[in-house]
Structure 1
Amino acid sequence: MTKLATETSGNVTPLRIADAARLTRHVFVRDLRLDAHIGVHRHEEGRAQPIIVNVDLTVTEGEETLNDSLANVVCYERVVNNIKDLVAQGHVRLVETLAESIAEDCFTDERVLAARVRIEKLDAIEEAHSVGIEIERLRPLPQN
């Protein structure tokens, strides 16, 4: 598998997700705002707080024709509904844990090659618009 991002003079080059040469497309979710039970601090327990979730997926186009059929694509509505289900499962202490769960869920579709997940907590630090994390995961190589 090719390296999806490279470092250039101390900065990270943006991920090239849609790529005609690699026959990949980009499926994304932007600024999904949800109320989540998340956090390690006592004042975060028992109450929901707003988060924003962004997801970028590198998806193989495959050989089949689209035929204007939802079955032939990775459905962003399914991705959103699965994120909502994960958030609804109950309190999660770390945003990292939630991000890993979201990425892992995206890989249940065999066409997903890479997943980048960004989660922002909007009310965690009063002086900041948001704080959070971003992860990027690649489809695990098959075990032989």
Structure 2
Amino acid sequence: MQRTMNTLFARITDPAARLPGQPAPQPQPQPLAARPLTRLFVRDLVVPAVVGIYEHEKTTPQRLRVNLELGVLDRAADGRDAIGAVVSYEDALKRVAAIIAERHVNLLETLAETICRRMLEDGRVQTATVRLEKLDAFPECAAVGIEITRSRG
């Protein structure tokens, strides 16, 4: 009797064990955080931008270097060899350029936040890192700028 009780108790407390007549457990989908991410990037995109707090920066475009990195969940890892299975770096590049061209922004921080927010609108994008560099702000250095990372949830 004790042995039967021990066996029954072991089956009840063991998540892998099943009682007779009990259906096999169904595999659970992997949580998003546990799924591998693909890193998509755009490196050294240089675009004209009307950004800054000084009067000349509010009217005259200056060179802005953009680096973008996205952590994405895509279906290409499932063997799909189709552009619809992935987040397109061409689309990301065009979206960034369009955001920058929209209007004057005082702060690079504001612009970077906007870019991250728009990238995260695609449900497959889990993380977005944006690095913005003003290339002509100060003649004594190659660039000044910021980098931010934002995540879904």
Which 4+ residue blocks in structure 1 deviate beyond 2 angstroms?
61-67
**Aligned Cα RMSD in Å?**
1.6
State the secondary structure of the residue aligned to 2:52. coil
Between the two proteins, the alignment pairs up a number of residues equal to 120
Q: Which runs of 5+ in 1 are unaligned?
A: 1-20
Task: Give the structure-1-normalised TM-score.
Answer: 0.78
Identical pairs, percent: 42
Q: TM-score, normalised by structure 2?
A: 0.74
Q: Does 1:74 align with 2:87?
A: yes
**Aligned counterpart, 1:96:** 109
Where do residues 1-144 of structure 1 align in structure 2 (5 Å cutoff)? 22-62=35-75, 65-140=78-153
Offset at 1:60? 1.7
Asked which structure has the greater CA Rg, the reply is 2
Unaligned runs of 5+ in 2: 1-33
CA shift at 1:67, angstroms? 2.4
- Measure how far apart 1:66 and its partner are: 4.5
Higher helix proportion: 2
Q: 1:44 Cα deviation (Å)? A: 1.1
More strand by share: 1
